[in-house]
C-alpha cells in the first residue's frame, strides 16, 4: 500500500488554514506534515521535515508572499510539489507561479475543480492551472472586457501610484496613462480613479506587486 503524501499547509488566515487541514485529513491519500501561518516559515520547514506537497496561499499580511516562498522551496527542493491558492482574482499570479516552477494553481473563490482533485492530479504528475481567468463583474463590465494594458494601469492605481509613476513603471507616456484611465471610467461607469482603485482592490481583481511583496 502506498504511503500517504505528506502535506504542508501555509495560510495566514485561520479559517482558510483549517479548511486546507480538513481536506488533507479527510483523505486517506494524504497526511498533514505541518501547518504554518506565514510563507516565510515554509522553506525552512521543508529543509527540516519530509514534505511531498505544499498547499500555500499567495497573499500574506506580513512578510514573504507565497510566490516568493514557493520559488525558494523549488530551488532547494525541486522534488516537492506545490499548489498555490488565492481568494483574489489576480491572473498575473498564474504566470509568476509558472515562472517559479509551481506545479498547480487554484482559486479559492473561482476554482474549476475541487481542491482534492487538484491535489490528486498534481501528485500524479500533472500541472493544473485554470483554463480561463476568473469572471469578475467590475462596474458595467466583466474583467474580460478590459484590455491587458488597462488591467496593468488599474493594478498600479490600486497601489496609489500617480500618473507619472504608472507611466514610468509601464514604459508608456503620461498621456497614454490618462487615456487608459479615461477608458476605464467610461467602460465601468465609476466616477473617479479613486473609485476604480477602491472597487478593484475590494474585489481582488488586480493586486500590485508592491502590495503582494511586503518589505
**All domains in the chain, ordered by first residue:** 5-123 (3.40.50.2300), 137-212 (1.10.10.10)
pLDDT of residue 215: 57
Q: With the C-alpha atoms ordered 111, 196, 138, 98, is the resulting torsion angle positive or negative?
A: negative
Residues 6+ apart with CB under 8 A from 132: 112
pLDDT in tens, 18-66: 999 998 998 889 999 999 999 999 999 999 999 999 999 999 988 889 9
**Given its phi and psi angles, is residue 113 left (phi above 0), alpha (psi -120 to 50 degrees) or beta?**
beta
| Cell reading at 148 | 491587458
| pTM score over 0.85 | yes
- pLDDT, tens digit (0-9, with 9 covering 90-100), for 71-106: 999 999 999 999 999 989 898 999 999 999 999 999
Q: Cα torsion for 69, 73, 75, 79, to the nearest 10°?
A: -150
Distances (CA, A) of 142 to 85, 125, 200: 22, 34, 12
Residue 78: Cβ-neighbour burial (10 angstroms; 0-12, 13-18, 19+):
exposed
pLDDT for 20 equals 93
pLDDT tens figures, 194-203: 999 999 998 8
Amino acid at each position: 500500500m502506498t504511503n500517504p503524501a505528506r502535506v504542508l499547509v501555509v495560510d495566514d488566515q485561520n479559517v482558510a488554514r483549517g479548511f486546507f487541514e480538513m481536506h488533507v485529513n479527510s483523505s486517506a491519500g494524504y497526511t498533514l506534515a505541518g501547518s504554518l501561518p506565514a510563507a516565510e516559515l515554509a522553506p525552512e520547514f521543508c529543509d527540516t521535515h519530509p514534505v511531498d506537497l505544499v498547499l500555500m496561499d499567495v497573499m500574506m499580511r506580513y512578510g514573504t508572499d507565497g510566490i516568493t516562498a514557493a520559488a525558494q522551496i523549488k530551488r532547494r527542493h525541486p522534488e516537492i510539489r506545490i499548489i498555490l491558492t488565492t481568494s483574489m482574482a489576480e491572473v498575473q499570479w498564474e504566470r509568476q507561479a509558472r515562472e517559479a516552477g509551481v506545479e498547480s494553481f487554484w482559486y479559492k473563490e473561482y476554482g474549476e475543480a475541487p481542491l482534492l482533485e487538484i491535489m490528486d492530479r498534481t501528485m500524479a504528475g500533472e500541472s493544473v492551472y485554470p483554463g480561463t481567468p476568473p469572471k469578475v463583474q467590475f462596474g458595467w463590465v466583466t474583467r474580460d472586457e478590459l484590455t491587458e494594458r488597462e488591467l496593468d494601469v488599474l493594478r498600479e492605481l490600486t497601489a496609489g501610484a500617480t500618473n507619472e509613476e504608472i507611466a514610468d513603471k509601464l514604459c508608456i507616456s503620461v498621456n497614454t496613462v490618462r487615456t487608459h484611465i479615461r477608458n476605464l471610467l467610461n467602460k465601468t461607469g465609476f466616477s473617479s480613479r479613486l473609485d476604480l482603485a477602491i472597487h478593484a482592490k475590494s474585489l481582488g481583481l488586480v493586486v500590485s506587486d508592491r502590495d503582494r511583496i511586503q518589505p
